[in-house]
Structure 1
């Protein structure tokens, strides 16, 4: 006889209607998520989890280095280790809600990150959490949902767009696009996000949805994959009591259909506390209590009465009416079992073996009697024997589940569209449009039709225009790209840890999005400046000028992305880019043409040098320029007595390359572009290694 199908979790079954009744809304019984098949249920176990982190000190100053020497400076940088977790043991079964509680700094977030396979690289760990008896693998991470304390969401996307792109990238390939869209609508309705589905997430400088809605979007981001285990870090942080109760009450129906839920909670209300099954109470990295949440008060009282047999105040104040039958009996039994023992103050210590044994003995009875287990035969467990399930990462039929939800081409497609949407406000902003139009208009007015002059004096002015055109866009693009990956790095780590996409797909899609987003506005600037200044009026020269400037702009952007991907300190990154760009300008060939031999090799490291020479060849290649003795004559050919053609424009304008030479600089710039783009990928790969 086949096992009965477990019921679908509904918000109406969790008592959530009573919570929201005060708002005058009758919430319908909405299906929040389908049940977890028994073959995909996971039991989380962790035994003797201990962790240490380096105790970092400030970086030594240059003065301290000179005074103390290299050895002392090196010793100053060496960090001693500090233990933050001490032998934590526990478990969470399907159908349970385990809460990690304790004061700030007790190790809740550190332990949760270890359980979710997201421990910091600097942490040295002993003890490994197991899922169905096996360590967590990258493929198995797709069955684990992890909600961070800080809501890492793209501010420019709406709530629906955020969940849509997550569904298209994370849900299995076997699902059609219509099924994935239907899953998004289900999550939006179940979490009460209908009213804000088309509102942007927003941030500090741009208003969007409320804090509670942001948190529910973060939870929905993980619920899309229907995870077997859901981990939440401080989901009620920053929320009012009603919103917090609304959110935590949702965890009960999520767990009731075969899902294990582990959450950290700080200062829960009494109503919120009743939604919990298990409690792991932490203090300074030590486990103070582990077991049923409803028995935590009794257990802590017994520990106190063991150390203080005379009661809470004094012997005269301790009586059965004041303590209650259970606590009074416990106190009397403690005094009878340990008469005359010295009184010791209770101190944080690892999990008591007595209580651990008690918890294992009571697991089956508690789960069988809980509402989540009594409604489903599939959630019955044999504690101590584990689940009769295949290893994590396998489907119900025992076959391997593909680690990536979307194919590589689909990842490129959706990541490209998302990258364009996330940058729609910043790239096409009014400020950028006004900036480029004003600078282009000023350039056109300052060099008004100077490009039509055929004299050496006019050509000298045009070289200044070409150099400014190149440097202005390079500076703008480089500094704008400097903070690109720094702003997206945490989001990238979060999504990569969830197995959302390949790093190469993210990088190629992000690079491809640069073309329409970074080249559109500079094009208007080039058109305005080019024709107002009267540069070479031919279609070939115009498009060659545009392509050359765009190529140099992409090279400059690549350098900014490379520095931003390798240096995470903003001031350090800005200093590196500013000094490098100034060096590139000085050796570019406009300010100084006769650079000393011993330092002239620096020009071959400057993309400004190659870009400037390329623009000179495009503008003056094949043209005849006249020397009119320093005068600026409108038509030099009409004044042969004053003007004569210059035999070498390179010598006349003090150029480093002949304008009539073959434009080999294009190949060098393309080489720089490819090299720096590859180095960016290598830097990102190193930064995200182990995720």
Structure 2
């Protein structure tokens, strides 16, 4: 009983702490970031105009050219420079998210980046990648459920999200949707604070931000940076890129790194930057914003007008001055082990568990989030109206057709295969291309397994994928006067739903492989048209050299199952003045009434195969894992 009482009191105390504590409190683990001679090179393939492909040349371009620096807990480092100077590339490299030809040394507490270190690292991208139809509260709560440890209860995670909302002053808009380009929601500053809040949920010791004030007015930008300053005071290490901050913002930065064309022009205290450039002969002719002055220098523009050649000469002079005055001392400081900074060894104090939640928890949370985000699609009036309208039109055109009208009935069954081949295919093609940015962001943060996302996304799409064809079949089957037995209706519905799932799988595979909606749509149209033409209705005598298409045709196997649901061997129909066998009718004889089990097996194999292809294609996105 005593042990149970202690556990209950412990949980109650922790819940109270989550509710009342501030996210600006000191972190338990401090991280000192050092980077030495960081070089990043990309390969550029160049081919001349009207040249053959064997004249293809591969050129190398250095984006980062030996960048060195360090930032310790409690400090905020701002990386400045003109567009294309390498700020975002360097930030991505420091955040452990840059692959490719990266050289140099980047250490965290004098150790390389690891999956354990990722637990204590937050990364806020320049573009706020958020679900537009979720509210601020829903966005942060679902993030908390995924990113906080599994030993926290769901209630504690929700309270933690509420604490972040309060501390980031998002209470006023907590029940407003995020919004998007064509959907009214929260303001730009509030959206940026939501993005920061998603990272603050894990109480990161190291926080990276890419252009956190981009596109914001000066007042909103000031609030964002003030928030970051408070976070730094709690012992966090903060690194950000920023384009052109105001004077007030500039002097809040503890350290400044000025980049120009991948080279360092200055690294040191923000309060020392003007004095440094004045000491090497560069000072503004009039009082001006320090960041404006630094950007002019990085662009090779002095206080006087300069020609293009003088600008290059000036950049070289600034680079040489940096190497002569700052570079050697900075490298010595970075390479030295600083015993004055007390840092906790993250790897020793952290359990070596890769995922914060179990696989099943991830599936259920992602499923709930996906349903909330896409509920407007699930209950789309346009989509439902489209299917109902086509259903009644089909039922009226084939109204109470009889077996004697075998051409009409077989045409209706093949229409089933065509309509429900293209409809789910195009719906599924857009699935992954529309979520690529979100998947990259969350996978890079290690929020969940790829398999959890894939299973939840597939399950979340089942309602619309199953409900609409079922509604279509119920309406058209009885209006068209198909075989009036319950068993035949169930078999028809089974064949239709199986075809829908296979077509959806093909769409998922194409979308994941191509990741371009227009290209995937064109490719999907060509493939499905090929399947339709080889489906056995339009062409009964397919040439041998191309007849293999019918064996992989979704339309062929679906049409065979639908024919089998309506007709039997030795069944006859009235053809003119005589009686003919149904199985001898050309549109039926081409596919035959035999081999029903084989077609079902082939469709099941396709259902699994296409989804496996889609999953394997998605594995290249974000961090590796399953």
Same fold per superposition (TM over 0.5): yes
Does the C-alpha gap of structure 1 residues 73 and 359 become closer, same or farther in structure 2, counting only changes over 3 Å?
Answer: closer
Does the C-alpha gap of structure 1 residues 128 and 358 become closer, same or farther in structure 2, counting only changes over 3 Å?
Answer: closer
Match of 1:51 in 2: 40
CA contact (8 A) 1:650 1:657 kept: no
CA contact (8 A) 1:287 1:350 kept: no
Deviation at 1:152, TM superposition (A): 0.7
CA contact (8 A) 2:86 2:261 kept: yes
Deviates more, 1:649-658 or 1:434-443: 649-658
2:556 aligned with 1:614:
no
CA contact (8 A) 1:621 1:660 kept: no
- Residue 319 of structure 2 aligns to a residue whose secondary structure is coil
**Matched residues in 1 for 2:562 and 2:43: separation?**
53
- Cα distance per residue 1:18-59 (max 9 Å; x no partner): xxxxxxxxxxx983343211xx2111100001111223557x
Match of 1:406 in 2: 357
Does the C-alpha gap of structure 1 residues 626 and 362 become closer, same or farther in structure 2, counting only changes over 3 Å?
Answer: closer
1:655 equivalent among 582, 589, 600 = 589
**Matched residues in 2 for 1:360 and 1:647: separation?**
90
**Matched residues in 2 for 1:563 and 1:294: separation?**
54
- Cα distance per residue 1:106-130 (max 9 Å; x no partner): 11101000000111x4x42111311
Trace 1:75-224 onto structure 2 (pairs within 5 A).
75-76=55-56, 78-119=57-98, 121=99, 123-224=100-201
**Matched residues in 1 for 2:457 and 2:321: separation?**
48
CA contact (8 A) 1:44 1:130 kept: yes
CA contact (8 A) 2:35 2:105 kept: yes
2:571 equivalent among 596, 599, 624 = 624
Match of 2:375 in 1: 424
2:398 aligned with 1:447:
yes
- Residue 385 of structure 1 aligns to a residue whose secondary structure is coil
Deviation at 1:389, TM superposition (A): 4.5
Unaligned runs of 5+ in 2: 1-19, 286-313
Match of 2:290 in 1: none
Deviation at 1:428, TM superposition (A): 2.0
1:667 equivalent among 593, 601, 625 = 601
Number of aligned residue pairs: give it: 577
Deviation at 1:624, TM superposition (A): 3.2
Cα RMSD, aligned residues only: 2.5
Deviation at 1:174, TM superposition (A): 2.0
CA contact (8 A) 2:136 2:177 kept: yes
CA contact (8 A) 2:124 2:196 kept: yes
Match of 1:347 in 2: 318
Does the C-alpha gap of structure 1 residues 555 and 128 become closer, same or farther in structure 2, counting only changes over 3 Å?
Answer: farther
- Residue 84 of structure 2 aligns to a residue whose secondary structure is coil
Deviates more, 1:276-285 or 1:533-542: 533-542
Deviation at 1:227, TM superposition (A): 0.5
2:557 aligned with 1:587:
no
CA contact (8 A) 1:200 1:208 kept: yes
**Matched residues in 1 for 2:410 and 2:340: separation?**
77
Deviation at 1:250, TM superposition (A): 0.2
2:339 aligned with 1:385:
yes
Match of 1:555 in 2: 502
**Matched residues in 1 for 2:122 and 2:457: separation?**
25
- Residue 32 of structure 1 aligns to a residue whose secondary structure is coil
Trace 1:517-536 onto structure 2 (pairs within 5 A).
517-536=464-483
Does the C-alpha gap of structure 1 residues 436 and 648 become closer, same or farther in structure 2, counting only changes over 3 Å?
Answer: closer
Unaligned runs of 5+ in 1: 1-28, 306-310, 314-342, 364-381, 630-641
Match of 1:504 in 2: 451
Does the C-alpha gap of structure 1 residues 196 and 75 become closer, same or farther in structure 2, counting only changes over 3 Å?
Answer: farther
**Matched residues in 1 for 2:265 and 2:316: separation?**
14
Deviation at 1:686, TM superposition (A): 3.1
**Matched residues in 1 for 2:570 and 2:246: separation?**
82
- Residue 599 of structure 1 aligns to a residue whose secondary structure is helix
CA contact (8 A) 1:88 1:350 kept: no
TM-score (norm 1): 0.79
**Matched residues in 1 for 2:453 and 2:340: separation?**
38
TM-score (norm 2): 0.87
Match of 1:226 in 2: 203
Q: Is the radius of gyration larger for structure 1 or structure 2?
A: 1
**Matched residues in 2 for 1:426 and 1:350: separation?**
59
CA contact (8 A) 1:454 1:624 kept: no
**Matched residues in 2 for 1:240 and 1:209: separation?**
15
**Matched residues in 2 for 1:658 and 1:500: separation?**
51
